Amino acid sequence: MSRIGKLPIPVPSGVKVDIKGQNISVQGKKGSLVREVRPEMDIVLQDNEILVNMKEDTKKNSAFRGLTRSLINNMVIGVEEGFKKALVIEGVGYKASVAGKKLTLNVGYSNPVDFELPDSVSASVEQNKILLESIDKEVLGLTASKIRQIRKPEPYKGKGIRYEDEHIVRKVGKAGGKKK
């Protein structure tokens, strides 16, 4: 049984939820999101709470119930508050800049790397930190992951692009490992 799936999703006062069959749309002060849920799920809006129910009680449907509840909850939180993700650039001469929807990264390659941001994601750069913001948590996480892939942090000096809360396990170099 999904313990997460049983929990109701509270709907804040400024958020409007519209359910039509398997389509759910959520509108708030930051924007609107639409998602189609699996046909095994039944979405009900009552007393400013969204309930996710299963049409048939199976183990697979129970897992999808928890997933569906989390996805809808992220939609409600996204249109109300939004999501943020920070990336840190470490390395001598490594820097980033934003112009419109284009993120330009100078991270040790012979040419700068241009990264096109999705429409729903906005970015800002402060010194060596890239701050990404979006109402869609899924798109935000994928975008941050793709930016990190451009120059992953390496374990010897820690140079590269990493998440703000990520800890890089450092390795001892060739000379540091020798014992006399």
Architecture of domain 83-163 in this structure: Alpha-Beta Complex (3.90)
The answer to whether residues 76 and 68 touch, using CB atoms and an 8 Å cutoff, is: no
- The answer to whether the 3-80 and 83-163 domains have the same CATH topology is yes
Class of CATH domain 3-80: alpha beta
Q: Model's pTM, two decimal places?
A: 0.88
| Cα 154-90-122 angle, rounded to 5 deg | 110
Question: What confidence tens digit (pLDDT) does each residue in 96-138 have?
Answer: 999 999 999 999 999 999 999 999 999 999 999 999 999 999 9
Question: What confidence tens digit (pLDDT) does each residue in 28-66 have?
Answer: 999 999 999 999 999 999 999 999 999 898 999 999 999
Side-by-side strand order, sheet with 83-90? 121-126, 129-134, 83-90, 160-163
Give the CB-side neighbour count of residue 103, counting CA atoms within 13 A.
26
- Residue extents of the structural domains in the chain: 3-80, 83-163
